[in-house]
């Protein structure tokens, strides 16, 4: 997971290295990317598998499968109504009580992950790979015609992603992305959470925000006053943790999601802060941040309302970080799909798209990752209490599931109007 989070911080740095007028807000889902890489590792062999395991921090494919099983079980939740303590679903005779139940359902955090494998009808998955992806990753395996009906498959993938992200992501595959045999992989992620302590709409006010080009803009801010929050002030930045309402997963285990906001002390210090995280990803680990947090009284908490999306070529980012073999014609995915012995397959496309909305009630976020497998030929400290947390300049944030310490989404707000 650290490696996948580092991919996000690198993307933030890449954006800030652009011309400031073209820099975008950044949003990525480490879990979405991590799941895709884990699935790829399940079908890899030889040096390709060794490199994937190294970057994913696993000793063996068995170790990776165990981590993936835990990840899927901890993060699979639903909007099912809360169960009665005795184990049955309560029935309410009155409309008032039905409305109360609906409110409880709306407050429940909703987190869903869906995986899909599209196999050209001329090819078959290796049975062990098919079993792993269906049992561990709950992947939907579908036989399609990637040669003659690629446009139809593209349309179906986009519709599937739109459905799984509740309409937040309508297109993961534009027409510029060509589909071809032997197979493609996709996953989609959706999160919705209500703040444990909602922001009051009447307190939302337009205030100044400093953007990277040194201009100041007016944007709507969510505001709370005289509140106790988990907070820390460290050498280079402040940390604020805002919890969402707790919930129960389908497996009966508790779920606790929180948003961490990381605000540099220096108005234009985001780049230096992210560089520090990128060089030592452990600094950004939720456990590490939690060691510094204390419940303190803040006279004011202000964060901008956010609504934006972000798309990125994950293949390019991963290659820049040194993960190269899966994307080379020398890749070994011999444990994934049966193909002609004189050919091998490799990942030639891997794209990722995320979107988020943060408002007075809570947060809604989604992400999708797509990988196309193509043919290739082998050639041979303690916090000091302060009175406020005002995110009026570029900052970073993460959405974390507290019990598993897994990062659902992470990104940076460079301009709330983008």
The answer to whether the CB of 299 falls within 8 A of the CB of 388 is yes
Predicted TM-score (pTM) of the model is 0.88
For residues 351 and 348, give the distance between their C-alpha atoms in angstroms, rounded to a whole number: 10
Contacts of 207 (CB under 8 A, 6+ apart): 218, 219, 221, 302, 392
- Percentage with pLDDT > 90 across the chain: 66
Q: Is pLDDT at 84 greater than 50 in this prediction?
A: no
| pLDDT score for 2 | 84
Is CATH 2.30.39.10 correct for 201-306+359-373+382-413?
yes
Lowest mean per-residue pLDDT among 3-12, 71-80, 342-351: 71-80
pLDDT 10s digits, 297-312: 999 999 999 999 999 9
**CATH architecture of the domain formed by 1-83+101-193+308-357:** 2-Layer Sandwich (3.30)
The predicted model gives 79-107 an average pLDDT of 43
pLDDT 10s digits, 358-369: 999 999 999 999
The predicted model gives 381-389 an average pLDDT of 59
The answer to whether the CB of 372 falls within 8 A of the CB of 179 is yes
Place of tokens 């802060």: 273
The predicted model gives 91-112 an average pLDDT of 58
Comparing CA positions, the residue from 228, 206, 209 lying closest to residue 217 is: 209
| pLDDT score for 383 | 47
The answer to whether the CB of 74 falls within 8 A of the CB of 402 is no
Torsion angle defined by CA atoms of residues 93, 96, 99 and 103, in that order, rounded to the nearest 10 degrees:
-120
For residues 23 and 310, give the distance between their C-alpha atoms in angstroms, rounded to a whole number: 11
Q: What is the mean pLDDT of the chain?
A: 86
| pLDDT score for 323 | 95
Residue 76 pLDDT grade (very low, low, confident, very high; cuts 50, 70, 90): low
| pLDDT score for 251 | 67
Residue 108 pLDDT grade (very low, low, confident, very high; cuts 50, 70, 90): confident
For residues 212 and 206, give the distance between their C-alpha atoms in angstroms, rounded to a whole number: 19
| pLDDT score for 387 | 67
Q: Is pLDDT at 294 greater than 70 in this prediction?
A: yes
Comparing CA positions, the residue from 24, 381, 38, 335 lying closest to residue 232 is: 381
The answer to whether the CB of 276 falls within 8 A of the CB of 236 is yes
CA distances from 247 to 113, 131, 275, 404 (A): 16, 30, 35, 14
In the three-class reduction of DSSP (H, G, I as helix; E, B as strand; rest coil), residue 34 is classed as helix
Q: Is pLDDT at 178 greater than 70 in this prediction?
A: yes
Give the helix/strand (H/E) hosting 242: strand 237-243
Residue 375 pLDDT grade (very low, low, confident, very high; cuts 50, 70, 90): confident
pLDDT 10s digits, 197-239: 999 999 999 999 999 889 999 999 999 999 999 999 998 999 9
CA distances from 259 to 77, 290, 295, 396 (A): 18, 12, 15, 10
The predicted model gives 246-267 an average pLDDT of 87
Sign of CA dihedral 45, 46, 51, 54: positive
Q: Where in the chain is the domain with CATH 2.30.39.10?
A: 201-306+359-373+382-413
The predicted model gives 71-78 an average pLDDT of 64
CA distances from 368 to 331, 351, 378 (A): 24, 8, 31
Q: Where in the chain is the domain with CATH 3.30.497.10?
A: 1-83+101-193+308-357
| pLDDT score for 287 | 92
């Amino acid at each position: 997971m650290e490696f996948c989070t580092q991919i996000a911080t690198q993307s933030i740095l890449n954006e800030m290295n652009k011309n400031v007028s073209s820099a975008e807000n950044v949003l990525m889902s480490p879990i979405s990317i991590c799941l895709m890489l884990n699935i790829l590792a399940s079908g890899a062999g030889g040096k390709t598998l060794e490199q994937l395991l190294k970057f994913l921090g696993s000793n063996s494919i068995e170790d990776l499968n165990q981590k993936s099983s835990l990840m899927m079980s901890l993060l699979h939740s639903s909007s099912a109504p809360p169960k009665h303590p005795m184990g049955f679903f309560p029935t309410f005779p009155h409309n008032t009580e039905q409305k109360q139940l609906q409110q409880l359902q709306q407050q429940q955090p909703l987190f869903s992950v869906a995986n899909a494998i599209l196999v050209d009808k001329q090819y078959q998955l290796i049975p062990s790979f098919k079993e792993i992806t269906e049992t561990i990753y709950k992947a939907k395996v579908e036989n399609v015609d990637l040669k003659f009906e690629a446009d139809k498959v593209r349309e179906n993938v986009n519709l599937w992603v739109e459905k799984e992200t509740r309409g937040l992501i309508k297109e993961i595959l534009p027409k510029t992305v060509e589909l071809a045999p032997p197979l493609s992989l996709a996953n989609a992620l959706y999160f919705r959470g209500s703040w444990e302590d909602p922001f009051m709409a009447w307190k939302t006010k337009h205030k100044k925000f400093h953007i990277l080009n040194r201009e100041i803009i007016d944007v709507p801010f969510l505001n709370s006053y005289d509140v106790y929050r988990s907070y820390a002030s460290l050498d280079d930045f402040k940390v604020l943790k805002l919890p969402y309402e707790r919930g129960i997963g389908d497996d009966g285990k508790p779920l606790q999601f929180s948003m961490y906001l990381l605000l540099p002390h220096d108005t234009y210090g985001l780049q230096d802060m992210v560089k520090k995280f990128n060089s030592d990803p452990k600094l950004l680990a939720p456990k590490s941040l939690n060691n510094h947090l204390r419940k303190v009284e803040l006279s004011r908490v202000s964060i901008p309302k956010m609504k934006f999306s972000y798309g990125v070529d994950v293949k390019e980012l991963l290659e820049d970080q040194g993960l190269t073999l899966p994307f080379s014609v020398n890749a070994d995915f011999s444990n994934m799909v049966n193909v002609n012995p004189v050919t091998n397959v490799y990942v030639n496309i891997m794209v990722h798209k995320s979107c988020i909305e943060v408002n007075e009630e809570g947060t809604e976020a989604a992400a999708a990752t797509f990988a196309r497998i193509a043919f290739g030929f082998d050639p041979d400290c303690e916090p000091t209490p302060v009175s406020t947390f005002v995110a009026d300049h570029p900052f970073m944030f993460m959405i974390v599931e507290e019990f598993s310490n897994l990062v659902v989404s992470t990104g940076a707000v460079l301009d709330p109007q983008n």
